[in-house]
Amino acid sequence: MTALLESPYEVMAGKILKTRQWTDLEKYFEVELPGRKDLGHEPGQFVMISVPGVGEAPISVSSSPTRKGSFEFVIRKAGGVTGMLHTMKEGDSVGIRGPFGHGFPTQRLEGYDLLMIGGGCGNIPLHSLITFVLDNRSKFGKVDILVGCKTPETVLFAEELKDWAKRPNVRLDLTVDRGGPGWQGKVGLITKLIPGIPTDPQRTCAVVVGPPIMYKFVIQELLKKEIPDDQILVSMERHMKCGVGKCGHCQIAQYYCCREGPVFTFKEIRHFYEAI
């Protein structure tokens, strides 16, 4: 899909409809683009959000295109722009450019069993795909969702996770690196959950989104299951600057992540994945 406007440099005025502080570092935003109901994005894409006088930052869209009328974001406070966004409230305005990049190929995934693996902030763009799949449930096979977080306090979309776990033919496993008082769930790395998932490698597509350190070890487990290279999808975490492949800030080998990515098949990146 392409950007909403003819020029990728044009900034649209967005209005913040709702906010919610989810963790010490992550805050939820719902943003409306007045006059636009079909936002034209696909799961896995990102937009550039700007604050006048401060700058702009790349932010993954966490909402599914099946939910019309607004974008949803979960923004981690990590710098000047995101820090300023965390001070904003309902009714405030922000600038939006995009959406940009290649997202998850939802049509290609149709008919496959899906093994979706999210770690940390990777659960934000993955949320868009999961919502899309569950809103189009009859088009996909069985769905396994594996979620990893550092601590129970950093779990995102906690209420939705409970809802997803109740869906027929959906399996959800959540693990944290470190538990705490009152935590009765699983503790350990997300890689420990993968061997226990029954898979038919020829009819399974795996989706991996998370911090770069996670990719190598998760992909090793997926290859042990003999899932083909072109059926493993990864979303590359890189700091985008321009969103249109001009500045080179997000370049990995011959790819500009903002343009050719952020979603790639493992087959496309296998020759340099040691550097992920």
Say how far apart CA 15 and CA 185 lie, in whole Å: 38
Burial degree of 87 (CB within 10 A; 0-12, 13-18, 19+): exposed
Instruction: Read off the tokens for 230.
Output: 């072109």
Residue 239 has a pLDDT of 66
Residue 276 in this model has a pLDDT that exceeds 70? no
Pick the CATH number of 12-100 from 3.40.50.170, 3.30.70.260, 3.30.70.20, 2.40.30.10: 2.40.30.10
**Over residues 248-265, mean pLDDT:** 80
Query: What does the pLDDT read at residue 3?
Result: 47
Question: What percent of the chain stands above pLDDT 70?
Answer: 94
Architecture of domain 106-275 in CATH?
Answer: 3-Layer(aba) Sandwich (3.40)
pLDDT in tens, 245-256: 777 777 777 787
pLDDT by residue (tens digit) across 177-228?
A: 999 888 999 999 999 999 999 999 999 999 999 988 899 999 999 999 999 9
Mean per-residue pLDDT for 115-139?
96
SS3 60: strand
The domain segmentation of the chain, as residue ranges, is 12-100, 106-275
Q: What is the pLDDT of residue 274?
A: 57
Q: How far apart are the C-alpha atoms of 135 and 133, rounded to whole Å?
A: 5
* H or E element at residue 56: strand 55-60
Under the banding of pLDDT at 50, 70 and 90, the label for residue 35 is confident
pLDDT at 32 over 80: yes
pLDDT (mean) for 232-261: 78
**Please, what's the b/e burial string for 27-44 (b: 16 or more CB within 10 A of its CB; e: otherwise)?**
bbbbbbbeebeebebbbb
A 10 A CB-CB count for 161 gives 17
Segment 42-56, tens digit of pLDDT: 999 999 999 999 999
Q: How far apart are CA 129 and CA 106, in angstroms?
A: 8
Residue % of the chain over a pLDDT of 90: 74
Q: Exposure string (b/e) for 48-68, b if CB count within 10 Å is 16 or more?
A: bbbbeeeebbbbbbbbbbeee
